[in-house]
Chain A
């Protein structure tokens, strides 16, 4: 009897340890690279290309972020270098998929393996270390504090003292939403994936729009990587992207490539990631919470297509 009560108290204590404000703070933090990469990936998705090379692009961004920050002594240099490398890889993806008509997922797989090999190769040949590189000379990204909300207890913990990309990613969500749905360029980009012939007739090159989508995707994935390696901990470790590119892909599919829905999906997946890490601290297996984004995506796809099929059937019956 007494034991049971003790267990209850333990559980309560554990819950308190897990479910608190820090969890929200961690969610925001872990969701940021997902948001950045997913925003990029949804552009290629709209342009009609499935980009599974995001994983590798993020990894390259992490490495070159550290490299730039270490050599130039400025986090901005790290971010710029990471973005540039992302741009180049996005360009390569575009050249192969659009001009050379390669299979997009083969190119994606090649990029992932290339990134895994190159980062470890450079880690060892430039820094002479295996596994991880960290140094006090790597300058972290600046953290922002808004004095206006520092006196408000909840918001202070949740919103203040984040790396700059956290706030930038939110701005990017709005920008990309406006770009996609409120400007002609956005319509062109979407048309390049859905109705390339129509776009061609309208005098806009679908190829150009696809290139833009792919390049911006590369840059954003590069940023996502630099947030990982310069945002909170300043270090690079082998395979640092740890499936985030695939989770970002999941967020895009879950959010039907709509920037706001994708943002929400990325936040949700970030939440489960943060929850998993905190559960692990109190000794609960984290694997199941980590699985959620992947399983959720399959379930969402299933529901989505079932609904579509049902709608088609209704339409057909209606027509008859």
Chain B
């Protein structure tokens, strides 16, 4: 049983490596089509991601929102409820943290930060609760509702920072700067890497423990695989789905909180360049495995950071990595299908071979 599972994992890792290599190869071809050397391009990318303490710090800074939104996706998808609304939950969580940071300016450092974190997680979780409830109670497709709620949150926060909470200093489309004691300390000079990475590590550990080592995590998996079966097994599948959704929303909210407390020190209208979508890709690529999420987040963070250096060194636009990332996800999405087709093709070939032998 165990060795079979292991073989399946190994098979998957092989396809993963193949998918990533094929996508990087396509990236190389695009570079060549632009008259650039892929060796130089990827070399600059690698150096830009890990070449110095500063670069490495930037890579890890980028992993914070990816890990959180990636784990958020993993939890919800594994439970069979698809939270595509991470971006909206992130925006609202970020705003909640900024609100705490500009309102409760007299709180001592530790308590203030904890309050901001709780507020962001709560708001994100509540915002995910709505589509979760609609799904469980009325069977309304959560993919559609969460997509719609994304944009609602983005517009709503855009209203807040342009009207009631607009900063009076300059036209920034953001709130005022949060009070000093809410700022998370930076770890490496000039880099945005800050103490939120420790919070992230702690949260990731908790989520890993919850997903892999507790009966709740096992219930999530059962519900995700077959909710009817889980129900007969005595699991309240509806409750599990809602819990998964709220946890997922809270994690996305936290991703927003740390962008405010650690990076920008205020809420900005366009605070996320699609972190939740990237996080979703990360989780999908590793089939919702929490450890995989962390590894893949570092990989994506490295691609993002390195792409800037690649652009400076070779003038290949950094957006190339977005293309590469989306091709990886396409390959992974088709992985099972590719395998099946390959097996069919292989079986067909063998049959033909046998037929040929017989004829001879």
**Which A residues are closer than 8 A to B by beta carbons?**
50, 52, 92, 96, 99-103, 105-107, 109-114, 116-118, 120-121, 124-125, 243, 246, 249-250, 253, 285, 287-288, 290-291, 294-295, 297-298, 301-302, 305-306, 309
Q: Which residues of chain A are within 8 angstroms of B321 by Cβ–Cβ distance?
A: 117
- Assuming the contacts A100-B341, A291-B156, A294-B151, asked whether A110 and B329 have C-beta atoms less than 8 A apart, the reply is yes
B317 touches A124 (CB 8 A): yes
Q: Tell me, yes or no, whether B232 is within 8 Å of chain A by CB.
A: no
Q: Tell me, yes or no, whether B158 is within 8 Å of chain A by CB.
A: yes
**Which B residues are closer than 8 A to A by beta carbons?**
30, 34, 82, 84, 134, 138-141, 143-145, 147-149, 151-152, 155-156, 158-159, 162-163, 274, 277-278, 280-281, 284, 316-317, 319-323, 325-327, 329-330, 333-334, 336-338, 340-341
List, sorted by A's number, 25 A–B pairs whose CB atoms are closer than 8 Å.
Answer: A50-B141, A50-B143, A102-B330, A105-B143, A109-B84, A109-B281, A110-B326, A116-B274, A117-B320, A117-B325, A118-B319, A120-B319, A120-B322, A121-B317, A124-B317, A124-B319, A243-B151, A246-B148, A246-B151, A287-B155, A287-B158, A291-B156, A298-B134, A302-B138, A309-B138
CB distance from B272 to the nearest CB of A (A): 13
Q: Which residues of chain A are within 8 angstroms of B280 by Cβ–Cβ distance?
A: 109
CB distance from B306 to the nearest CB of A (A): 15
Known: A52-B147, A100-B334, A117-B325. 15 other contacts (CB 8 A): A100-B338, A105-B82, A106-B284, A109-B277, A110-B329, A111-B326, A112-B277, A113-B325, A116-B322, A121-B322, A243-B151, A253-B144, A287-B158, A301-B140, A305-B140
B147 touches A100 (CB 8 A): no
- Assuming the contacts A102-B334, A246-B151, asked whether A285 and B162 have C-beta atoms less than 8 A apart, the reply is yes
Q: Which residues of chain B are within 8 angstroms of A124 by Cβ–Cβ distance?
A: 317, 319
How many A-B pairs have beta carbons closer than 8 Å: the answer is 138
* Complex partner residue of B144 from A92, A103, A301, A309, CB under 8 angstroms: A301
B159 touches A287 (CB 8 A): yes
A305 to B134, CA, bound (A): 10
A139 to B151, CA, bound (A): 33
Q: Helix, strand, loop or mixed for chain A's interface?
A: helix
CB distance from B144 to the nearest CB of A (A): 6
CB distance from A205 to the nearest CB of B (A): 18
A103 touches B148 (CB 8 A): no
A305 to B144, CA, bound (A): 14
* Complex partner residue of B138 from A111, A294, A305, CB under 8 angstroms: A305
Q: Which residues of chain A are within 8 angstroms of B323 by Cβ–Cβ distance?
A: 114, 117-118, 121
Interface centre among A102, A124, A253 (most CB of B within 10 A): A102
Q: Which residues of chain A are within 8 angstroms of B84 by Cβ–Cβ distance?
A: 52, 105, 109
Interface centre among B144, B145, B281, B336 (most CB of A within 10 A): B144
A117 to B330, CA, bound (A): 14
Q: From B162, which residue of chain A is reached at the shortest CB distance?
A: A285
B152 touches A295 (CB 8 A): yes
CB distance from A123 to the nearest CB of B (A): 8
A118 to B319, CA, bound (A): 7
- Assuming the contacts A294-B149, A298-B149, asked whether A117 and B326 have C-beta atoms less than 8 A apart, the reply is yes
Q: Which residues of chain B are within 8 angstroms of A112 by Cβ–Cβ distance?
A: 277
- Assuming the contacts A113-B322, A114-B323, asked whether A249 and B147 have C-beta atoms less than 8 A apart, the reply is yes
CB distance from B198 to the nearest CB of A (A): 29
CB distance from A158 to the nearest CB of B (A): 28
